[in-house]
Amino acid sequence: MEFKISPSAFGNMFAIPAAIVDENLKMAGAVQLKSVLYMFRHFYSGKNPSLEEISKAIGYDVDLVEDAMMFWLERGIVSKVEDDLGEQLKPAEKIAEVKSEAKKEEIKEKTVSEIPVSKPSHEQVAKRCSECDQFRMLFAEAQQKLGKTIGYDGQSTLIMIHDSYGLPIEVILMLLEYAVSKGKTGYKSLASIAKQWCEKDIDTLEAAEAYIMEQSEVDGLWREFQQLTGVKNANPTTKQRNYFSLWSKAYGFNAEMIYLAYEISIERTEKMSLGYMDKVLKSWSENSIKTPVDVEKEQEKWREGQKAKSSSKASKEGKSETKTSSSYDLDAFAKKGIGIKYKKS
């Protein structure tokens, strides 16, 4: 059986932002949808209904209505009257203003706030579970994946992750598996990972799978680098992870080449400088230097240049020529490395 909109329904009408359906329909519950529909029905008449009025009209408790308003507030669909500097604008002008601000936001790097400190009440958690089978399934799966009972704190955290960051249930389940693999099963850690995923627009199974695979590759690259250098931290910091991802994906370098850049950084700056390593690796990428042998040739040119500068300076000052030390010993590197093969030219 198929249905269509009856022409007779197009009598008294009011506009609804497409974002409510396109971006939030799957996440919004019955209270959220009924509340926002009531808000928009009265918006064009110049009225801002109170929580009590909405509660009476849709048949839900005021606390649930307030929770629903927070849901739409975080998504930019509604705003608090006292904070709305444009509340005196006409509806058409206000909508144009919102669209203009949305375009401005598109050119900014996406950032999101931490989930609210205030949690939904026990009654609100129970209400959401009674309204949505998916939440009941999420809580059951979360208990299995985390290996512990999900009480009120866990349930409210998962609900707020869903509502605040807009992650679908299936993506949250994958996030839980990822968090367990990293040993980060605390609720604060789960919320922190969810925030990162939201900022990176990881809101589909495909995006989550690609991200997890990328992180796994970076972890493997870091372990190889750690064995070559002896750096102490078993896991890379966020900054180190970002650099290693760049060097691997954008520049196409493996642990061998990153190690060589590390050696050069140690010699020239006397420390492991990620910024200096990035300059070296970026230069190699731009100049098609792809192997340790290519690096040795490039380093030989650099040493000759340094030697010429030293010789010229010594001549001007009437001093004997000083010897420039080698940046590193490639033979020693090969002995230290894991499965590194190269041929001298």
Q: Tens digits of per-residue pLDDT, 65-84?
A: 887 888 888 788 888 765 44
pTM greater than the 0.75 cutoff: no
Query: Side-chain half-sphere of 250: how many Cα atoms within 13 Å?
Result: 12
Number of domains making up the chain: 3
Residue 247 three-state SS: helix
Q: State the Cα–Cα distance between residues 115 and 247, nearest whole angstrom.
A: 32
Cβ contact 321:310 at 8 Å: yes
Q: Tens digits of per-residue pLDDT, 222-263?
A: 999 999 988 888 888 888 989 999 999 999 999 999 999 999
Q: Which of 31, 66, 98 is the last residue of a domain?
A: 98
Q: Residues 322, 233: one domain?
A: yes
Residue 136 three-state SS: helix
CATH of the domain at 196: 1.10.10
Q: Residues 294, 257: one domain?
A: yes
Of residues 292 and 68, more confidence is placed in: 292
Q: State the Cα–Cα distance between residues 184 and 187, nearest whole angstrom.
A: 9
Q: Is 141 exposed, middle or buried (0-12, 13-18, 19+ CB in 10 A)?
A: middle
Measured in whole angstroms, how far is the alpha carbon of residue 87 from the centre of its chain? 33
The model's confidence at residue 43, banded by pLDDT at 50, 70 and 90, is confident
Q: Residues 185, 281: one domain?
A: no
Q: Residues 149, 185: one domain?
A: yes
What range defines the domain where residue 145 resides?
122-203
Q: Residues 73, 128: one domain?
A: no
Q: Residue 221's pLDDT is what?
A: 93
Q: Residue 337's pLDDT is what?
A: 44
Q: Residue 139's pLDDT is what?
A: 92
In a domain, 344, yes or no: no
Q: Residues 77, 167: one domain?
A: no
- For the ranges 38-42, 72-76, 240-244, 325-329, the one whose mean pLDDT is highest: 240-244
Q: Which of 132, 178, 182, 184 is nearest to 155 (CA)?
A: 132
In a domain, 39, yes or no: yes
